[in-house]
Chain A
C-alpha cells in the first residue's frame, strides 16, 4: 500500500479505495480490462485523500452533521453532441465486457433459480458503481450528477441480462436517492455500508400490485406513531428487486397532508414481511413482495427529515427511474438485434439464408431503427436531468416508446428464430419475458 506522510491511502480514502485496489490487482480486472477504470477511480480516491491531508485530517467530518452533500448539475456545452466523454466510453467498454463475460454466462442459472448468484453480485460490487454515485466528500468518487453515464451503465449491464442488471443496480439506486435527498446524518449513517468490501443488498420499493398503478399516488401509507414518535407503515410493494437479501429498503409511502416520502426500512423491522415473488421474467433480480402491517420505524427513517426543507419530489424519482428502465430496455433490445443478425444469416430455408427475404430482413432493420430511437430518447432525457433541466416530458416519452417498442423487439426476436426461439437453448425467450417488464416497473433503478 502506498504510504504518504505517514498515512496510508487505505486509511484516508477508506473502504471503496480498498475494494478498488483489490479489484485492480485481481484476475477479474485483468480479464475484463478493468484496470484502467479502476486506476482512474483509484486516482480520484488518492486525490480525495491528498485533499484531506491538505485540509487537515478529519476535514471531511468537519461539516455540520445536518448539511447534506449533493452532486451538482453539469454545465452543458450548448452544442448538439452524441459523443460520449472519455470516462463514459471507458465505462461503457468495461460494463460491456463484464456483461459479456460474467452476466451472459450467469443469466440462465439466475433465471432458473429466480435469484442472482452471490459471486456475481460480489464481482459486480467490484465495478465501483456505488462509489461513482457518492460525492467525494462522502467517501465516493462522484462529483457531478451523471445521469447519462448511469444510462450507459444500465444499458450495457442489461446487454448481459436485464434481471441481473436490476439486481446489481438496485443498491446503487438506493445510494443515489440517499445522496439526492438524504439529510447529512442519513448520508453519513447509510452510505458507508455500500462502499465496503462486500456487496450490500438494498432496494428502492415504489411499485404496488394494482392495475393502472400511478406511481405519483402510492397507497402505501406512513402514519405518525404517537407512542414511539416514529412512523408506522401500512401497505404493500411488489416486484422489489433483491428482496431476498436486501438489508435496507427505501419505501415510497404517502404521508397525509405532506405527500409521498421515502422511508428507510430495515428488513428485520417487525410488521414487515418479505416473500419471494417469482415472475414471468427478471427472475435473476430475485424479486419479492413486501407487506407492511404497521411496520414501525423511527422518526429519522424519513429520508430528508420531517421538516419543510425536505426536497424529495416523487415526480423526480419516477422520471429518473423511468430513464434507467428505458436504458435497461435499450440494452436488452440491442442484445436481441445482435443475436438475430447472425442467426438469420446462417439459418437456411428454401435453399438460401432466410435473411435474403425482405420479410425477415425488414424485421431486422426495424429492430435496429427502433433500438436507436429508444436510445436517443433515453439519452436526451438523461442529459436533461444531468444539466438540471426539466425532464418529465422527455422521461415520459422515453418510457412510452420503450414500453411499446422494446416489447415488439422482444416478440420479433423470438419470431425470427421460430420454434428455436421458443426453447431455452436460445436466450430470446428470456429476453421476451424480461422486456414485458418495461412499461410496468416503477422505481428499483435510477439514472
Chain B
C-alpha cells in the first residue's frame, strides 16, 4: 500500500537525530566553520553514544532494526515491504545534516571506509577495523570522476602489498585511523585491475601531506595522502585479488548504489535547513503570509519560496525511494543517481536562492544561511558529480554504453 510518510518505527530515530542536530551540531556549527582544521572534540561523546547504540556498524541503531526486521518478517510471511537500514540511514542523515553537514561528515568511526569494510570486508577485517575510523581514498590529481584512470599502484612483494601514488580530497584523511586506498594492480588492464586496500595509519610510507582549505564543510578535514613504497600485509586487500576482466568495474562501483542515497540525504538536510530558515526570516519581516494554496497572490518572494520547498520535497522523496529500493533488494543504481542528481542541484540552487531572498543579513556570517550555501556545493560534486549522475541515468534510459554516450 502506497505510503510516503516516515515509517512509525523510525520516528524515534529521526527525533533522536534531530535532537543531535539541534543540541550538538547547531551550537558549534559556526565555531568549526571559522576554525577550519581544528578537531571538533565535542563529537567524541556523540561518537561514543553512536557506538553504544550501533554495536557493529551500519545505520544508527542497526542492531535494533535487525531485531525488528526479524519479528516483522515473521509476522508478515516475507511478502510485506521492508523498511530497513538504508531508509533509516538516509532519514537520520537528513536530520543530522539539517544541523551541520560538515560535522556529520566528521563523526568519528562513521567514515566512507567503514561502509566499505562493512560491505565487503572479511570477518577478520571487520573484527580488526570495525571499531576504527576509516576514510576512503579514491581521487588523484589526474583522476576525479574518471576513477578508472587512477594510477596509484599496488604490487605484491612476498607477504606485503607495496603501494605507490598520491591521493587527494580524502575526507577525514587526517583524523581517521585507517584509509581504504584504491589502487591498480596493472594500469594497462583498466577498471578490472583496480582494487582497494586497508592501509592503517602508521604504515611505513604513508604520509598525510597537507590539509585543504575549502569553500565549505570546513569542519570536516580534507587531506592529501602520499604513498611512497607504503607496505601493508597481504590480507589487507578488500575483496579478491583476482583480475576478472569480465566483471569490469561493477564490483567497485556497486558501493555507490548504497552511498549515493546517503549523500543525496545530506543535500536534502542542508536544503531543508535553508528553506526553513528563509521562511522564518521572511515571515518575521512579514514578506510572506503562509498561504499555501495560492502563493501567487502573495509576494514574489513567497511564490519563489514555495517553489523551492517543492523542489526540496522532490529531492527528499527521490532519496527515500532509492533507499527503500535498496532495503527491498530492488536494483537501484538509476534511482540512486536520480536522487543524487536532483538533491545535489536542488541543494545548491535552494541555499543560494535563500541567501538572495533574505538579503544582506543572510550573506553575513551572523546567519548560517551563507554557510549552508557554501557547504551545499560539494554535495553536487563528491560521490559522483551532477554530470556523472546524469550519464548513469541517460545511459540506462537510452540503452547506451559508456563508449556511445561519453
Q: Is B one of A's binding partners?
A: yes
Q: Of all chain B residues, which has the CB nearest A322?
A: B293
Inter-chain contacts of B321 with A (CB < 8 A): 82, 372, 376
A66 within 8 A of B: no
Contact in complex: A396, B292 (CB < 8 Å): yes
B2 within 8 A of A: yes
Contact in complex: A355, B80 (CB < 8 Å): no
Contact in complex: A81, B81 (CB < 8 Å): yes
Q: Of all chain B residues, which has the CB nearest A380?
A: B4
Interface SS majority for chain B = helix
Contact in complex: A369, B405 (CB < 8 Å): no
CB contact under 8 A between A397 and B2, given known A214-B294, A355-B405, A358-B405: no
Binds B, one of A8-16, A37-45, A359-367: A359-367
Contact digits for B347-373, partner A, Cβ 8 Å, 1 yes 0 no: 000000000000000000000000000
Instruction: Tell me, rounded to whole Å, the shortest Cβ–Cβ distance linking B26 to chain A.
Output: 25
Contact in complex: B393, A345 (CB < 8 Å): no
Q: Of all chain B residues, which has the CB nearest A361?
A: B394
Q: Which of B7, B397, B399 contacts A78 (CB 8 A)?
A: B7
Inter-chain contacts of A76 with B (CB < 8 A): 1, 3, 5
B400 within 8 A of A: yes
Inter-chain contacts of A84 with B (CB < 8 A): 2
Q: Which of A82, A148, A344 contacts B324 (CB 8 A)?
A: A82
Inter-chain contacts of A345 with B (CB < 8 A): 398-399
CB contact under 8 A between A400 and B306, given known A82-B321, A215-B293, A380-B4: yes
In whole angstroms, how far apart are the Cα atoms of A84 and B3 in the complex?
Answer: 9
A387 within 8 A of B: yes
Contact in complex: A377, B317 (CB < 8 Å): yes
Contact in complex: A80, B83 (CB < 8 Å): yes
Contact in complex: A368, B314 (CB < 8 Å): no
Q: Which residues of B, 189-221, contact A by the 8 Å Cβ criterion?
A: none
Contact in complex: A361, B398 (CB < 8 Å): yes
Q: Of all chain A residues, which has the CB nearest B315?
A: A373
Contact in complex: B4, A400 (CB < 8 Å): no
Contact in complex: A373, B320 (CB < 8 Å): no
In whole angstroms, how far apart are the Cα atoms of A401 and B308 in the complex?
Answer: 9
Instruction: Tell me, rounded to whole Å, the shortest Cβ–Cβ distance linking A58 to chain B.
Output: 35
CB contact under 8 A between A80 and B293, given known A365-B394, A401-B314: no
Q: Of all chain A residues, which has the CB nearest B10?
A: A80
In whole angstroms, how far apart are the Cα atoms of A106 and B311 in the complex?
Answer: 35
In whole angstroms, how far apart are the Cα atoms of A345 and B395 in the complex?
Answer: 11
B341 within 8 A of A: yes
Contact in complex: B397, A341 (CB < 8 Å): yes
Contact in complex: B317, A83 (CB < 8 Å): no
Contact in complex: A148, B2 (CB < 8 Å): yes
Contact digits for A46-81, partner B, Cβ 8 Å, 1 yes 0 no: 000000000000000000000000000010111111
Q: Which residues of B, 382-406, contact A by the 8 Å Cβ criterion?
A: 387, 390-391, 393-395, 397-400, 404-406
Instruction: Tell me, rounded to whole Å, the shortest Cβ–Cβ distance linking B120 to chain A.
Output: 27
Contact in complex: B394, A80 (CB < 8 Å): no
Contact in complex: A216, B398 (CB < 8 Å): no
B56 within 8 A of A: no
A2 within 8 A of B: no
Q: Which of A356, A362, A382 contacts B400 (CB 8 A)?
A: A356
Inter-chain contacts of B397 with A (CB < 8 A): 341, 364-365, 368
CB contact under 8 A between A83 and B2, given known A361-B394, A368-B338: yes
A379 within 8 A of B: yes
B307 within 8 A of A: yes
In whole angstroms, how far apart are the Cα atoms of A252 and B313 in the complex?
Answer: 31
In whole angstroms, how far apart are the Cα atoms of A365 and B400 in the complex?
Answer: 12
Inter-chain contacts of A368 with B (CB < 8 A): 338, 393, 397
In whole angstroms, how far apart are the Cα atoms of A361 and B4 in the complex?
Answer: 30
In whole angstroms, how far apart are the Cα atoms of A222 and B394 in the complex?
Answer: 54
A392 within 8 A of B: yes
Contact in complex: A318, B293 (CB < 8 Å): yes
CB contact under 8 A between A216 and B293, given known A79-B7, A397-B310: yes
Interface size class of A (residues with CB under 8 A): 35 or more
Inter-chain contacts of B9 with A (CB < 8 A): 78
Contact in complex: A377, B314 (CB < 8 Å): yes
B100 within 8 A of A: no
Contact in complex: A396, B80 (CB < 8 Å): no
Inter-chain contacts of B3 with A (CB < 8 A): 76-81, 383, 387
Q: Which residues of B, 1-25, contact A by the 8 Å Cβ criterion?
A: 1-9
Contact digits for A376-399, partner B, Cβ 8 Å, 1 yes 0 no: 110110111001000011001110
Q: Of all chain B residues, which has the CB nearest A352?
A: B404
Inter-chain contacts of B394 with A (CB < 8 A): 355, 358, 361-362, 364-365
Contact in complex: B2, A81 (CB < 8 Å): yes
A1 within 8 A of B: no
Contact in complex: B7, A80 (CB < 8 Å): yes
In whole angstroms, how far apart are the Cα atoms of A429 and B406 in the complex?
Answer: 30
B318 within 8 A of A: yes
Inter-chain contacts of B310 with A (CB < 8 A): 377, 397-398, 400-401
Q: Of all chain B residues, which has the CB nearest A81?
A: B81
A25 within 8 A of B: no
Q: Which of B2, B335, B391 contacts A379 (CB 8 A)?
A: B2
Inter-chain contacts of A306 with B (CB < 8 A): none
B309 within 8 A of A: yes
Instruction: Tell me, rounded to whole Å, the shortest Cβ–Cβ distance linking B315 to chain A.
Output: 8
B226 within 8 A of A: no
B296 within 8 A of A: yes
The CB with the most chain B CB atoms within 10 A, among A79, A361, A392, is that of A79
Inter-chain contacts of B295 with A (CB < 8 A): 396, 400
Contact in complex: B7, A401 (CB < 8 Å): no
Inter-chain contacts of B406 with A (CB < 8 A): 358
Inter-chain contacts of A370 with B (CB < 8 A): 314
Q: Of all chain A residues, which has the CB nearest B4?
A: A380
Contact in complex: B314, A373 (CB < 8 Å): yes
Inter-chain contacts of A77 with B (CB < 8 A): 1, 3, 80
Chain B residues within CB distance 8 Å of chain A: 1-9, 80-81, 83, 87, 292-297, 306-307, 309-311, 313-315, 317-318, 320-321, 324, 335, 338, 341-342, 387, 390-391, 393-395, 397-400, 404-406
- Sample (28) of A-B pairs whose CB atoms are under 8 Å apart: A74-B1, A78-B9, A79-B7, A79-B8, A79-B81, A80-B81, A82-B2, A84-B2, A344-B398, A356-B404, A358-B394, A361-B398, A362-B390, A368-B397, A369-B342, A369-B393, A372-B321, A373-B314, A377-B310, A377-B313, A377-B317, A379-B4, A384-B5, A396-B293, A397-B310, A400-B295, A401-B310, A401-B311
17 more A-B contacts (CB under 8 A) besides A80-B3, A80-B320, A396-B295? A77-B3, A79-B83, A81-B1, A82-B2, A82-B324, A212-B294, A344-B398, A358-B394, A361-B405, A365-B341, A365-B390, A368-B338, A377-B310, A380-B317, A384-B5, A392-B293, A401-B314
A-B residue pairs, 7 tightest by C-beta: A373-B314, A376-B317, A361-B394, A78-B8, A380-B4, A365-B394, A365-B393
